[in-house]
Structure formats: structure tokens, C-alpha cells
Amino acid sequence: QKEVEQNSGPLSVPEGAIASLNCTYSDRVSQSFFWYRQYSGKSPELIMSIYSNGDKEDGRFTAQLNKASQYVSLLIRDSQPSDSATYLCAVPPTGNTGKLIFGQGTTLQVKP
Amino acid sequence: DADVTQTPRNRITKTGKRIMLECSQTKGHDRMYWYRQDPGLGLRLIYYSFDVKDINKGEISDGYSVSRQAQAKFSLSLESAIPNQTALYFCATSDPTGGESYEQYFGPGTRLTVT
């Protein structure tokens, strides 16, 4: 099992809909979780961090963490064509190594 | 000005050539990282450095070397470039003194092509 798994997609949603992106991880002791957005040919941009079970909202973005089930999700409300990008989930490996393990990313397409 | 810069942004080189990619940051972060990204393989860690005297191999360090010249500068070298090193290379930084010590911030990337 990969340490961080995401469905590669593409996930296609109509403009204005809710996009739901999911990520599962294998390390039960992970405490920090990150979502990055990457436009084609550009660098990853940190958009959300979550450390506690439950929901964390930031504008149109909501991160949801369920440590018992070992998954973290990202909801994008009122999706816009400008949200079309690849979304990377990242989790630190066991031990305070300062590293991140990245999933392969889910490509989101928001159609006008 | 960007907090993390990379030079060059694009480079085409020939097999066997030595090439250096440079990364500079003004964020004041101690930790710096080099990744490569290939289609379908995601981001893979090449080397990372927690301070000027602490340099560590990542998961794919073979064929690469690094130099941490200062807190703000971290260079990646390909000693003898080969075509399968064609990829997008990213530098990143993080700050262990902050509450969110694992957050990493990326430079704009270098697109390297080895012919």
C-alpha cells in the first residue's frame, strides 16, 4: 500500500458544483495533513493545512480529517473553472523528519 | 519579489554534461528541499537540508549531489546528465520553528531536458 493515495482522476464537475477530493494515508500516527494546488507546469501551492479531526474551512475550501479512518478530504464549494488544477495531498512520515510524502494528485476539471 | 527563486527556469543540456540548478530563498527558513516531478510519478524527494551542515539523501539521490552554500542557498548538481533525468525540478523550504513545521513552500521550478 502506498503511503499516501489519491485517485488520479480526472474529476470533472460543472461550474458552481461541489468538488470532493479524497486522500488516504497509511501511517496511523500522522498528525499533520496538507493540500497543495498545482496548475499545469507550475509549482505546488499550499492551500490548506489540517491537524485535528473534523472540518477546517477557508473561504470556498473545506478540509475534512478523519484519523480513525485515515483519510483526509478537500471540498471546494461553488467550483470555478479557475479551480481546474491538480490537487496534491501531503503527509509527514513517521518521526519528526521534516519531510512530506506526497500523493500523486487528483486532477480536477471544472467545466463552464 | 518571490520568496523562493530557482535558476535557470528552463535548461536543455546534452547527455554527459554537468549541470547545476540553483535555489535561493528570502523566507529565512532553515530547511530546504529538492524534488523532481515526472508525469504519473508525482513529487519525489532528491535531497534535503535542515541547516548548512545537515544534508540528507532523499528517495532518489543517485546521480545527484547538492551543496548548501548558505542558509538561503541550496544547489542541486547533476554530475553527468542522462536523458531519464529529464523532469521538472522544484526547490522548497520550511520553517521548523513555527507551529506548522511541516508546511513547505515551493519555488517556481526548473524544466530540465537532457538530450
Cβ–Cβ < 8 Å for B76, B23: yes
- Are the beta carbons of A99 and B48 separated by less than 8 Å? yes
Residue B6 in this model has a pLDDT that exceeds 90: yes
Q: Identify from B95, B104, B105, B112 which residue to disrupt to test chain A contact, counting A C-beta atoms within 10 A and taking the largest count.
A: B104
Strands B19-25 and A19-25: unpaired
Distance between A99 CA and the closest CA of chain B, angstroms: 7
Q: Is A95 on the interface with B (CB under 8 A)?
A: no
Which of B31, B90, B107 lies nearest to residue A98, judging by beta carbons? Answer: B31
Cβ–Cβ < 8 Å for A55, A63: yes
Q: Is B41 on the interface with A (CB under 8 A)?
A: yes
Mind listing the pLDDT tens digit of every residue in chain A (112 residues)?
568 999 888 999 999 999 999 999 987 777 889 999 999 999 999 999 998 889 999 999 999 999 888 999 999 999 999 999 999 999 987 765 778 889 999 999 999 9
- Are the beta carbons of B41 and A104 separated by less than 8 Å? yes
Nearest CA in chain A to B48: A99
Number of inter-chain CB pairs under 8 A, A vs B = 49
Which of B45, B105, B111 lies nearest to residue A46, judging by beta carbons? Answer: B105
The pLDDT tens digits of the residues spanning B38-83 come to: 987 789 999 999 989 999 999 899 999 999 999 999 999 999 999 9
CA-derived radius of gyration, chain A: 13
Burial (CB count <10 Å: 0-12, 13-18, 19+), residue A27? middle
